[in-house]
Structure 1
Amino acid sequence: MRSRVLCGMAAAAALLVTGCGSDAGTGGDGGAKPGSASPATAGAFPVAVTDCAGAETTFAAAPKKIVTSNAASLEMLLALGAGDRVIGTGFPPGKGGMPAELADRAAKVPVLGQTVIAKEKLLGSGADLYVDTFADMGSMGGAMGAAPTEQEYAAAGIKHVYLHSTACAAQLKGPQQDLAEVEADIRRLGRITDTTARAEELVAGMEQKTGAVRTAVAGVAPDQRPSYFFFDFDAGTKQPIAVCGRQVANAVITLAGARNVFADCDGDFKPVSWEDVVAKNPDWIQLGVRNKGSEAETAKAFEAAAQFLRDFPATKGLTAVQQGRFVRIGSEQTTIAGVRNADSVRQIARTVHPDLVKDGQ
């Protein structure tokens, strides 16, 4: 299924992500809601986490051999300082897809699958933990075959957890309007890998950035905030894919002081029509382009996306296109859960609220 291929790639914007995943791990009431993690302090085991359905996974000690489903969960583990325990990944990061400070370490992680890791290879990897960024990746079918069952994971000695912010998105009761779920994922992985202090440091940095933006745009009434459309150029131009309210990007856009024009669509991503986009007539359009490995090539891709909108009959008359209101920020740090979501919040806010959010904030 093409949409799951895209969402599984760290270098791609996710499309139709569905399914049930991991815990939220906020460190509060461990049984307060599906996806919560039992309270734990650094080095405190056992650590118990639950998935969207409430099924619990308990860790008696930190895992020593980890496999990640794609570069998104890999990036989180590298940022936490647990990268030396990652023995393999699927959907490896593309050139330029990782932050510069993590790129060398990411390149050393063995690639177990260019897309979904084959069932036999995953079960025979020797891992004691498999981190899924998205649920049901095995449904891509075809030559990739079926995903392992939970019983098969258990028989192989592999604990299986998910990122709540992405895998459980379809089960959220409302839209993601802040990065609480992403931060909870970071904290949860910190508890599991015994890197709690680093997790708190990462979350604190994110909250400092987003908090400054929240304060700066607080005086702008919700109905006065600029409307915003994330245009996933790399997903194709025949039919646009809307970022819905339950997707991480909706939280990024909302925190930046803008209004996602498709926030009310059900789910996290949804195919729409160009007529739908025209009817919304957004004030700003983010050019959803993946990092191409160099500033020059990425800049070319951004310009290609902008030129398409200028030339395409359905969009060339849009206010944002006519006035050149394009936001050039990479897809990865907007639609894929991670520490860099906070950077996107700040970058978008500086663009759409230049009088309120200045460089250095």
Structure 2
Amino acid sequence: MRTVVCAALLLLSGCGATVASDTSATDPVTITNCGQQVTFDRVPSKVVTNDTGITELMFALGLKDRMAGYVIKGKDSVDVRTSPWKADFDSVKHLSDRVSKEVVQGAGADMVFAGWNYGFSESTGFTPDSLKSLGIGTYQLTEACRNGVGKQRGIMPALDALYTDLRNLGKIFRVEAKAEELVSGYQKQIADAGKLMAGKPRPRVFLYDSGQDQPFTSGKNAAPQDVISKAGGDNLFGDLNDSWTTVNWETVVQRDPEVVLIVDYADGEANTPEQKQAFLEGFAPLANSPAVKGKRFFSLPYAALVESPRNAASIEAFAKFLAEG
């Protein structure tokens, strides 16, 4: 298996840069976030972010100076080590491994940027409504917006969610020009990557995050859907109206994957891409699948496969792998 260190392949626009936002602006800004109108009376100055990709959105926009700190599990994780914004991670305060009201209040936060299952959760009581009662504003990651069907998530294609968040954050922080620069750059990079598989057969791709009893994978509303499809493949579970979700092995076997895209993410059972590949190769029901027989495995860091500024480079890297056959 070829494990890609994603940082070397990423579009570096905005890396380590601070973009001056118009902090003197006093006019309120209203944006649409997860289907709701949200108004910010002033430019937030003490933002707390939860999760790596969310934090990198702030860094890509040059907004590290507007942050009180970030919450991620393990500051020395693969995601941080491979991040093109590692210097920003080093210079902004790591607040905790787990987000909570106490953490954000202790940081003096005036805004929390998180998402459902990316920090927000009814089970922990850490929700936009609970923070509103404390006088703390929130912005929700669009990839993780609830879509009205139970707790399923995703209201638009993943790349549209990325562009929506960049443009919304651009308005909130008065850095619209920087947001548009990033969006146009990513769109060009993705269009160029798409040419690599033009006219070639589209392989069936199984996104394997974790889980041995039941696999955790991606439906049509999470970032891997667009990473896979824009690179020239078909997501094995692209018919599921959800983002990250659990399926069953019987369906994986029936759908006969030709390529496996592994998330470099520790799950307690198999903590490295190599361990995950070894499990899949030793899983008897998959032994005759084209992916296992042909050893067609590819890996990317977790932060490259959730909504983040790494998505375009992930598409490029995966397209190159698929094009090599």
CA contact (8 A) 2:227 2:315 kept: yes
2:238 counterpart of 1:263: yes
* Residue of structure 1 equivalent to 2:323: 353
* Residue of structure 1 equivalent to 2:309: 339
**C-alpha separation in 1, matches of 2:83 and 2:225:** 25
Q: 1:103 to 1:314 in 2, by over 3 A?
A: same
Letter in 1 for 2:86: A
Q: 1:329 to 1:149 in 2, by over 3 A?
A: closer
* Residue of structure 1 equivalent to 2:296: 325
CA contact (8 A) 2:253 2:286 kept: yes
Letter in 1 for 2:294: Q
* Residue of structure 2 equivalent to 1:131: 113
2:102 counterpart of 1:102: no
**C-alpha separation in 2, matches of 1:230 and 1:171:** 17
**C-alpha separation in 1, matches of 2:117 and 2:45:** 23
Q: 1:226 to 1:340 in 2, by over 3 A?
A: same
Moved more, 320-329 or 211-220: 211-220
Letter in 2 for 1:338: S
CA contact (8 A) 1:135 1:162 kept: no
Q: 1:148 to 1:203 in 2, by over 3 A?
A: closer
Q: How many residues align structurally? A: 294
TM-score relative to the length of structure 2: 0.80
* Residue of structure 1 equivalent to 2:208: 231
**C-alpha separation in 2, matches of 1:121 and 1:181:** 27
2:220 counterpart of 1:208: no
Q: 1:173 to 1:64 in 2, by over 3 A?
A: closer
Q: Show CA shifts across 1:200-247 (max 9, x none).
A: 222222111101123444435xxx411110111xx3322111311111
SS of match in other structure, 2:79: coil
Q: 1:308 to 1:103 in 2, by over 3 A?
A: same
Task: Report deviation, 1:304.
Answer: 2.1
CA contact (8 A) 2:197 2:322 kept: no
Letter in 1 for 2:278: Q
**C-alpha separation in 2, matches of 1:100 and 1:172:** 25
Letter in 1 for 2:126: A
Q: 1:157 to 1:260 in 2, by over 3 A?
A: same
* Residue of structure 2 equivalent to 1:115: 98
SS of match in other structure, 1:277: helix
Q: 1:155 to 1:139 in 2, by over 3 A?
A: closer
Q: Alignment RMSD, CA only?
A: 2.8
* Residue of structure 2 equivalent to 1:47: 29
Q: Among 142, 159, 169, which residue is 1:164 paired with?
A: 142
TM-score relative to the length of structure 1: 0.73
Letter in 1 for 2:109: A
SS of match in other structure, 2:31: strand
* Residue of structure 2 equivalent to 1:147: 126
Q: 1:173 to 1:107 in 2, by over 3 A?
A: closer
Task: Report deviation, 1:172.
Answer: 4.7
SS of match in other structure, 2:78: coil
Q: 1:48 to 1:89 in 2, by over 3 A?
A: same
SS of match in other structure, 1:314: helix
Matches within 5 A, 1:58-69: 58-69=39-50
**C-alpha separation in 2, matches of 1:134 and 1:106:** 23
Letter in 2 for 1:219: G
**C-alpha separation in 2, matches of 1:123 and 1:249:** 34
Q: 1:135 to 1:271 in 2, by over 3 A?
A: closer
**C-alpha separation in 2, matches of 1:348 and 1:115:** 31
**C-alpha separation in 2, matches of 1:134 and 1:109:** 24
Letter in 1 for 2:246: P
SS of match in other structure, 2:194: helix
Task: Report deviation, 1:96.
Answer: 3.1
Please state which structure has a larger fraction of its residues in strand: 2
Q: Show CA shifts across 1:128-176 (max 9, x none).
A: 21111336845363xxx422563x53454322111212234646566x2
Identity among equivalent positions (%) equals: 27
